[in-house]
Amino acid sequence: MRESPHPGLYPTKSSTSRGPLKRPDLPGERGGDFSVIGKPLARVDAVAKVTGRATYADDMLLPRTLHCRILRSPHPHARIVSIDTSAARRMPGVQAVITGADLPIKFGILPVTQDERALEHEKVRYVGDPIAAVAATDEEIAAAACDAISVEYEVLDPVMSIDEALVSPKDERIQDYGGPNNIHKLVALEFGDVEGGFARAEHIREDIFFFQGNTHLPMEQHSAIATYVDGRITLWSSTQVVHYVHRALSKVLELPMHRIRVIGAAHGGGFGGKTDPFAHEIIVCKLAMVTGRPVKCTLTREEVFYAHRGRHPVLMWVRTGVTRDGRITAMHFRTALDGGAYGSYGVASTFYTGALQTVTYDIPAYRFEGCRVFTNKPPCGPKRGHGTPQPRFALELHLEKIARDISLDPVELKQRNFVKPMTRTVNWLRITSCGLDECAERVLTASGYKRREGRPGHGMGFAISSYMSGAGTAIYWNEMPHSEVQIKVDRGGVTAYCGAMDIGQGSDSVLAMIVAEELGLQPAQVRLVTADTDTTPIDLGSYSSRVTFMAGNAAIEAARKMRGLIVEAAAAKMGCDTAGVEVGGGRIGDFTFEEASVLAEARFGTLTSAGSYTPPKIAGPYKGSGVGPSPAYSYSACVVDLDADARTGLVQVNKIWIAHDVGRAINPLLVEGQIEGGVYMGLGEALMEEQAFRKGLHKWPSMLEYKSPTFLDMPEVETFIVETVDPEGPYGAKEAGQGPLLPIPPAVCSAIYDALGVWVDEVPVTPEKIVEALRRKEKGEPGRFGPTRFPTIPYPPTIRVEPPPKDLSAATATI
Amino acid sequence: MRHEMAREVQRQIVALDVNGERTDLLLPVHKTLLEVLREDMQLTGTKHGCELGECGTCTVLVDGRPELSCLLLPVQVEGRAITTVEGMANGSVLHPLQQAFAELGAAQCGYCTPGILLAAKSLLETNARPSRDEVREALAGNLCRCTGYAKIVDAIELAASRGA
């Protein structure tokens, strides 16, 4: 017995450790002889999407649908004295008005931070906090009725920065938990002998970096439509996680889960922004219950900016010791996260800012101190790379500076410290396959980085990264599988059922390809039912790059069981051993698939099979170890080539080379799409995207003013897929959706230094910051733009953790 | 912004020619073409991203030229040929652009896809073999958050090479 590997995320509960899952043949061990896997096939929903037939939530309009609008706070911080809805209720066409008194139960994505209400009736904590909702016969009437609601506020002093959050508030704290002052979460962990590591270092350097917050900006605004018929709610929503919405609805509406059905509509982009349960999803259900009619709510673009849950702004301080030949001896990393007004995923985000530094570089002694504060801004949460692009930015640039200090080539220093496959990090993270060396070689060779010309204004930058293939632990403590797949075969037709939500990354295509591969069919022959809490078995959703790895393994298990049944029936008819029955090309032994499945149905009755996936129990023996472990890590390396104008500060990115170790590309077309999309988003974060506020108001809550890269801003991207065939991934596959974003911002800043000789130690790198750094350099000051101080934070006493055993087999085993 | 109650909504009969089909509609005059297509004509293939003319998502063709349906009123386009994504395929046969987008993975979440397909269709009708830079220039008003744009440019090139 030992402590739960999930402390910090929910109340501690004991669990027994158990061994690795025993599979008759590990998926990764199968050779490369595939008929479907590895083929660049069109996605299964391609035709629906190119013809405009895919049905997104806002495309739905059920008979008698009412339209909902939400009244939101105009103040960043205020107590609600009174709410008068009488005038709104009298308006023709208004069918219902609800306030916080109608939905008083709090919810939140993490069990330890149940701090949100669908409608606030006591206090508002950011501009945009929902207060009241109207259902009316049309949207204009609903909007006018919202205007007719009168709310009396007692305005409180807002807290708008990390520094302000760390001191005593003028009026009152934003939340009534956490502390001192407006601190939400504090973490202090030490692995190995950090003091000794610094003592034996031959060079020590400290740096401070800032990563500005930014938002997902999905093309589709959040939308949800609910019905209430015969005591049962059905909700169609643009969500990444039908299961977590299901749980939140059950809690807040006080309905058992069997009376709630959540269906994922076609999804117009998430990137982490549709991973929390949202107020509008709860509100339309409540309004459907009150009115007895379908109710729909689609957020406006401005509301999407305030719904947020995007990238945390993070201030970082890092101190590292190295030997003369560049080997890291110890690292101390501090982070301060500006969390916004609510918890969201913030506790996990805080741990993530310290967890994955060790999975790319061999750090023998490591200390991490993290702090998240509440501010009166929209809540931050998970965005592509969740909590790790910020420290990756700091780490890559910090190591570059160290290399230059000791006159070593930065790439050489990084390569000397690369982790090796089949090892365990000092903070107990288990590394299995690792293609870091190959990824670096591929982009360095293709880009000609080491032979680059030194013309002024031209620069190249190199950076690496890693990301998880799904979190090894669930959001809420349980022993159940993280993903489950069922397969039904009848009269020759194959249907696969899985709770996984395709948010555009292609999870439906992955499921269809895997089932087709195992049954000797083509993906188009597999019907899919996904993301429906009534009809599909669980999948925890499209976040943390978990779906291919987890649902993929579950699909393999279910499909192999089904193949076993059909092969057995075919063998009996053929009068041979099952080993003599070949599967492939639409045939099972001497029969077509259809004939063989009819034989099997006649022999066994209804043909169903199921498979599930539970991650190995590999979290380390310490509080907070639940954040960071993953069954496998992806690896990326990139080179950015750019021109930077010393006069204007304008940056023109010419080309990006990126190599990504995806383990195995189940569909290389979709993997390339994920890599290119990640590079694009990383470039936006590096150069222009910024969620900034003035007096509590978002500075630019529109798609014109919130700058994101257009067709004209995107350079050519050359992609290399590296396949290391992970021992536990489905056919060896790992993640591709998040990792490739991470190396882009530091590689951009490294290339700018290469071009102009100045460091910009914060993103986004705007022209003003480059010009200012150059101006300082001309004046004889350090040629740098970036933060100069890290605040004093009351970190708790450090928890000291013994590093794991050095022995390889012990190091990679489950704990 | 205060939402004034529309006490006396002015309505007008408007004849719209959408995808070669003429429909007479009684419409509040302030309703946008985007809203009319989606809500009154159930042509939900046309999507919305901002409703302010910033993202290109709601692009339709008016007499073959790309226009933002969120900034048009139906009375402005009466009698003109409007094409939406539903009008691209020839029966069940995909338009070459649709075919190329499907084959090359140019649609991920698919939400920006209808608007981009129509902008690309207009481009190829005036420039049958555009360079990659000409494609980027023509589509610079359409945002996509999934693809990084690369596969969209590839797909338009492929469709052009097939004589779309």
Q: How many CB atoms lie within 10 A of CB A767?
A: 15
- A144 contacts on B by Cβ (under 8 Å): 3-5
For chain A, which domains are there? 64-156+219-269+274-307 (3.90.1170.50), 314-473+620-791 (3.30.365.10), 481-613 (3.30.365.10)
Helix, strand or coil for residue B83? strand
Percent of chain A residues topping a pLDDT of 70: 95
Among B109, B136, B137, whose Cβ lies nearest the Cβ of A219?
B109
Over 80: is that where the pLDDT of A813 sits?
no
> Chain A contact for B103, CB < 8 A?
yes
- B103 contacts on A by Cβ (under 8 Å): 42, 46
Question: Which are the contacts of A625, defined by CB distance < 8 A and separation ≥ 6?
Answer: A5, A7, A427, A428, A619
pLDDT digits (tens, 9 = 90+) for A712-760: 999 999 999 999 999 999 999 999 999 999 999 999 999 999 999 999 9
Please tell me the distance from the alpha carbon of residue A111 to that of residue A243, in angstroms, as a whole number. 14
Q: What is the pLDDT of residue A27?
A: 39
Phi, psi torsion values for B155, nearest 5 degrees: -70, -40
pLDDT digits (tens, 9 = 90+) for A103-125: 999 999 999 999 999 999 999 99
As a three-state string, the secondary structure of A637-685 is EEEEEEEECCCCCCEEEEEEEEEEECCCCCCHHHHHHHHHHHHHHHHHH
Q: How many CB atoms lie within 10 A of CB A773?
A: 26
- A708 contacts on B by Cβ (under 8 Å): 143, 145
Among B102, B144, B153, whose Cβ lies nearest the Cβ of A50?
B102
- B135 contacts on A by Cβ (under 8 Å): 711
Cross-chain residue pair A676–B148, CB shorter than 8 Å: yes
Q: Which of B59, B109, B158 to mutate to test the interface with A (most CBs of A within 10 A)?
A: B109
Q: What is the pLDDT of residue B9?
A: 83
> Quick check: A37 and A731 in contact, CB under 8 A?
yes
Cross-chain residue pair A54–B110, CB shorter than 8 Å: yes
Q: What is the mean pLDDT of residues A276-294?
A: 98
Cross-chain residue pair A710–B153, CB shorter than 8 Å: no
Q: What is the pLDDT of residue A153?
A: 98
Helix, strand or coil for residue B119? helix
Q: What is the pLDDT of residue A391?
A: 98
Among A47, A219, A505, whose Cβ lies nearest the Cβ of B144?
A219
* Domain spans in chain B, listed from the N-terminal domain onward: 11-87, 96-161
Mean pLDDT of chain A: 94
> Chain B contact for A714, CB < 8 A?
yes
Please tell me the distance from the alpha carbon of residue B49 to that of residue B59, in angstroms, as a whole number. 11
Between helix B96-104 and helix B150-161 the angle, nearest 10°, is 140
Residue with tokens 């010419």: A654
Burial A498-509 (b: 16+ CB within 10 A, else e): bbbbbbbbbbbb
Give the A window 260-319 contacts with B, CB below 8 Å: 266-271, 300-301
Question: Which are the contacts of A81, defined by CB distance < 8 A and separation ≥ 6?
Answer: A152, A153, A154
- 3-state percent helix, strand, coil for chain A, nearest multiple of 5: 30, 25, 45
Q: What is the mean pLDDT of residues A296-304?
A: 98
- 3-state percent helix, strand, coil for chain B, nearest multiple of 5: 35, 20, 45
Please tell me the distance from the alpha carbon of residue A246 to that of residue A263, in angstroms, as a whole number. 9
CATH 3.40.50.300 fits B96-161, yes or no: no
Q: What is the pLDDT of residue A5?
A: 35
Among A58, A270, A712, whose Cβ lies nearest the Cβ of B137?
A712
Q: What is the pLDDT of residue A535?
A: 98
Cross-chain residue pair B146–A267, CB shorter than 8 Å: no
> Chain B contact for A717, CB < 8 A?
yes
Please tell me the distance from the alpha carbon of residue A273 to that of residue A93, in angstroms, as a whole number. 33
Averaged over successive runs of 10 residues, the pLDDT of chain B (164 residues) comes to: 61 97 96 97 98 97 98 96 98 97 98 98 98 98 98 98 88
Q: What is the mean pLDDT of residues A42-68?
A: 98
CATH 3.10.20.30 fits B11-87, yes or no: yes
Q: What is the pLDDT of residue B164?
A: 75
Nearest C-alpha of chain A: how many angstroms from B162? 18
Q: Which of A51, A689, A738 to mutate to test the interface with B (most CBs of B within 10 A)?
A: A51
Residue with tokens 């063989």: A596
> Chain A contact for B75, CB < 8 A?
no
Phi, psi torsion values for B131, nearest 5 degrees: -75, 165
Q: Which residue of chain B is at minimal alpha-carbon distance from A60?
A: B44
> Quick check: A637 and A411 in contact, CB under 8 A?
no
- pTM for the structure as a whole: 0.95
pLDDT digits (tens, 9 = 90+) for A652-695: 999 999 999 999 999 999 999 999 999 999 999 999 999 999 99
Please work out, in degrees rounded to the nearest 5, the angle formed at the alpha carbon of residue A685 by the alpha carbons of A683 and A686.
60
As a three-state string, the secondary structure of A386-435 is CCCHHHHHHHHHHHHHHHHHCCCCHHHHHHHHECCCCEECCCCCEECCCC
Q: Which two tokens stand for residue A421?
A: 């496959």
Among B98, B117, B139, whose Cβ lies nearest the Cβ of A711?
B139
- A185 pLDDT band, cuts 50/70/90, is very high
Q: What is the mean pLDDT of residues A579-596?
A: 97
Between the alpha carbon of residue A475 and those of residues A242, A247, A425, A670, A724, the distances in Å are 14, 12, 23, 27, 29
**A325 closest CA partner among A223, A417, A437, A230:** A417
- A48 contacts on B by Cβ (under 8 Å): 110
Give the B window 132-151 contacts with A, CB below 8 Å: 135-137, 139-151
- A25 pLDDT band, cuts 50/70/90, is very low
Which uninterrupted H or E stretch holds A82? strand A78-84
Return the beta strands (E) in A445-548 as ranges.
458-468, 483-490, 493-498, 526-530
